[in-house]
């Protein structure tokens, strides 16, 4: 993912601002992959991800003149894409989770509930197709605000500073939300992997 | 998870895992971890969680049909294959 990040800063801002279509096409070529991936992680729906992808580049094309260059071009694109994703989530949302509940999830320090050491599971088991699907679904269970921070930091590999610029949040808020998100995911993964461990234990006992 | 030190740990967990804490606080947590099995498990599984997500990031690939429609929407079809 760092390769794309490095490459995007090679674009000529001058050309882009002047409306150079070939240069913009190159920007899309390099950056469509990460924007699409962000959409999939944020909304878990290929059609929504495609909408986010198109809207992001339409807005980027329209507002390039306003881009002040204070953040990097890639952070700016991430900012547009994440805003699009959060707006679409708000539009799509028919989940029963109330605003208060969501605030609780964002602000409260979640006490670890499940204490099971599943670190000893074989790596093959932890990275199986089924485990990956479960991990993906776990991200979808985060509140949109936590999900946005987690996706930018731990999936897209942005720094705390870049994430704070992309989301217009303080760096300390980014850290707090990342911590909540990771703890929540730890909890969800523990539920899943401790079951896998139990299943494996049963299988091993059966082998004797 | 009820002693005072466990709370201290929870509050600083992310910074601890990222190696962002002051030496003093870090040492205090390390000491706590030596005799709190529960906190040690939480830390280990938290680290493993982050590691697993990092290791399983999919490559950033746009499906060809999605990309085609993107370039068409921006009226940039003529550049679609010239870059790749």
Q: What is the pLDDT of residues A68-89, one digit of tens each?
A: 787 889 999 999 999 999 999 9
CA distance A140 to A40: 10
In a domain, B84, yes or no: no
Q: How confident is the model over B29-54, as pLDDT tens digits?
A: 888 888 888 889 999 999 999 999 99
Residue B51 belongs to some domain of the structure: yes
Residue in chain B closest to A183 (alpha carbons) equals: B46
Domain boundary among A45, A72, A94: A94
Query: What percent of chain A stands above pLDDT 90?
Result: 61
My answer on whether A109 and A15 are in the same domain is no
What is the span of the domain harbouring residue A86? 1-94
Q: Cα–Cα distance between B78 and B8 in angstroms, integer?
A: 59
- Dihedral of the alpha carbons of A41, A45, A47, A51, in degrees to the nearest 10: -40
Chain B residues within an 8 Å CB radius of A112: 1, 10, 38, 42
pLDDT band at B84 (very low <50, low <70, confident <90, very high): very low
Instruction: Identify the contact set of chain B against chain A, taking CB-CB distances under 8 A.
Output: 1, 10-11, 13-15, 17, 38, 41-42, 44-46, 48-50, 52-63, 66-67, 69-71, 73-74, 76, 79-80, 82-84
Q: Which domain holds residue B70?
A: 4-79
Whether the CB-CB separation of A50 and B69 falls below 8 Å is answered with yes
Residues A119, A86 within the same domain: no
Question: Complex ipTM, two decimals?
Answer: 0.86
- CA A180 – CA A105 distance, rounded (Å): 8
Show which of A50, A67, A94 is a domain's final residue: A94
């Amino acid at each position: 993912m760092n390769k794309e990040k490095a490459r995007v800063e090679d674009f000529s801002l001058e050309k882009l601002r002047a409306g150079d279509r070939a240069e913009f096409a190159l920007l899309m070529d390099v950056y469509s992959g990460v924007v699409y991936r962000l959409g999939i992680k944020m909304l878990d729906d290929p059609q929504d991800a495609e909408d986010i992808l198109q809207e992001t580049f339409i807005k980027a094309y329209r507002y390039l003149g306003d881009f002040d260059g204070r953040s990097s071009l890639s952070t700016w694109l991430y900012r547009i894409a994440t805003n699009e994703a959060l707006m679409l989530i708000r539009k799509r949302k028919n989940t029963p989770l109330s605003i208060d509940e969501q605030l609780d999830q964002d602000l409260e320090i979640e006490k670890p509930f499940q204490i099971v050491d599943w670190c000893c599971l074989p790596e093959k088991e932890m990275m199986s197709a089924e485990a990956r699907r479960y991990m993906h679904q776990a991200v979808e269970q985060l509140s949109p605000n936590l999900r946005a921070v987690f996706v930018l930091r731990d999936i897209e590999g942005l720094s705390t500073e870049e994430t704070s610029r992309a989301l217009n949040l303080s760096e300390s808020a980014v850290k707090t939300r990342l911590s909540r998100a990771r703890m929540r995911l730890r909890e969800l993964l523990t539920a899943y992997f401790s079951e896998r461990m139990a299943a494996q234990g049963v299988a091993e006992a059966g082998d004797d | 998870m009820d002693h005072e030190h466990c709370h201290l740990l929870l509050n600083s967990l992310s910074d601890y895992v990222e190696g962002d804490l002051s030496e003093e606080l870090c040492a205090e947590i390390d000491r706590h971890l030596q005799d709190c099995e529960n906190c040690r498990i939480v830390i280990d599984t938290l680290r493993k969680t982050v590691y697993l997500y990092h290791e399983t990031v999919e490559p950033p690939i746009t499906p060809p049909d999605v990309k085609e429609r993107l370039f068409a929407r921006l009226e940039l079809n003529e550049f679609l294959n010239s870059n790749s």
